[in-house]
Amino acid sequence: MTTSLMKQDNADNKNPTQVGTALQVFHNLGTLKDTVTNVVDGYCTTLEDSINNALDVKVLTQPSQSAVRGGPGRATMPTPGNTAAFRASLWTNMEKLMDHICAACGQVQHLQKVLTKKRDPVSHICFIEEIVKPAISPMVTGKKFYFPMDDRDSFIFLDIVGMSPEKALKDSLQPYEAAYLSKSLSRLFDPINLVFPPGGRNPPSSDELDGIIKTIASELNVAAVDANLTLAVSKNVAKTIQLYGVKSEQLFSQSLLE
């Protein structure tokens, strides 16, 4: 169908003439606005599927990328022996995902440029005006806002809930963050549980305290790459200190009873 003329397979090989011809056809049919909306929504759906596939934890932790996706459930982290393979698969998928996002953004941008320049040869109306009218207020179509900007020949797509692409990508990583924080808390608790064994009567030695401090410092250093992750890990550190205090109080209370 003619919509294929507006969706080039290669983002670097766009043909404004072909896209303009397709837009003219849909304008003549009175379906220009609906067609453009469907094309953009199609890109959004494709990107959403690409993100879900690229960041599916269960697929990434399988020996083969062709593994069948599992049902919903808690995110699982790779076993120590598979960490290298997991990392390689993750970065390979992320690279492909960024290529898909870049291509889709380029295609939508190209479509926008043609819409701002193309005019009907009879009415001389600019096609972008067909998309954004009435120009006084934003038009809601599906999940997108079409807002006219200061330049009447320009427009931008905004998510109806105001979510930026960066936030959407970060939200897609939440299962990974939850799994990482769970493992991080376990690593922080392990040295404390070791120095306070059940039935133990001796307080931690200086070396054992140094080990606990080094573990805390290591977790904070790893999380320093992102402010939000640092805050989340800091909460785990607070829980760790609280656990140490509880264990110390229990040991002290036990010594008083003896």
| pLDDT band of 95, cuts 50, 70, 90 | confident
CB count within 10 Å of CB 182 equals 14
Q: Which long-range contacts (CB under 8 A, 24 or more apart) does 165-172 make?
A: 165/101, 168/51, 169/51, 170/228, 172/51, 172/52, 172/55
Residue with the larger pLDDT of the pair 89 and 255: 89
pLDDT above 80 for 98: yes
Q: Residue 53 carries which side chain, given as an amino acid letter?
A: N
- The answer to whether the beta carbons of residues 132 and 116 sit under 8 Å apart is no
* Lowest mean pLDDT across 11-25, 157-171, 172-186, 240-254: 157-171
Q: What tokens appear for 139 in the block?
A: 């038009």
pLDDT digit string, tens, across residues 131-162: 876 543 333 344 443 433 344 333 344 343 34
Got the DSSP string for 70-87? --S----PPPGGGHHHHH
pTM to 2 decimals? 0.48
